[in-house]
Amino acid sequence: MIEVGDILVSEDAVTARFACDLGACLGACCRVGDAGAPLGPGEREAVEEALAVVLAWLPAENRELFAREGFVDRRQPEKPQLVCFPDGRCVFSIAFAAASGRTGVPLGCALEAAFRRGLTRFRKPLFCHLFPLKLGHFYDRRVLNVERRPECEPGFDGGIGMLESSREVLVRLFGDAWYEQCLEAARRERERLKPSR
């Protein structure tokens, strides 16, 4: 584990290599779970601002769910999180074209799709953008760790370093200076962890 500012970064986050393989996981981060993505400060308002664009992209069943329940789960008002279908799919999940030779249709995020096309200013909740990294707490310290789900394992077979592949969201969350400091500390830690010959 390394310490960067007031954030602890787990050894797994430092050493893991990852490249999201949507064709293998079929969008597990948008469809697997027993609760929706938590919304951080200001994110509810940001989603509301994007709704005019995003609602038109949602399939009929998603719009029906939205009409019944909105996009914030009412069961825990003190901990706002996105509404999900009973099978775990997020209210903002949209189907992409099925990959050739694959079963199932990969899911993606309508919020992110609108952002990537320059139609909105909000990409998606930080919780979603960060995944499979996860920000938790250890006593009074924040800890950046990796959440490994079976659906995501194919993504851990290659790719670049987890921290490197997560540059955009880590800068969004902590800023450029923190990110550069984190990368330097991670490089030193990787060298230290290399087996001696």
* 180: number of Cβ within 10 Å: 12
Tens of pLDDT, residues 94-136: 886 533 344 455 578 899 989 989 999 999 999 999 999 999 9
pLDDT on residue 153: 87
Whether residue 155 contacts residue 18, with contact meaning beta carbons closer than 8 Å, is answered with: yes
Kindly state the DSSP code that residue 134 receives in the 8-state scheme.
E
Is the preceding peptide bond at 86 cis, omega within 30 degrees of 0?
no
Tens of pLDDT, residues 49-77: 999 999 988 989 999 999 999 999 988 88
Tens of pLDDT, residues 152-191: 888 887 778 999 999 999 999 999 999 999 999 999 999 9
pLDDT on residue 99: 36
* 100: number of Cβ within 10 Å: 6
φ and ψ of 160, to 5 deg: -105, 180
When the pLDDT of each residue in the chain is averaged and rounded to a whole number, the result is 87
pLDDT on residue 194: 85
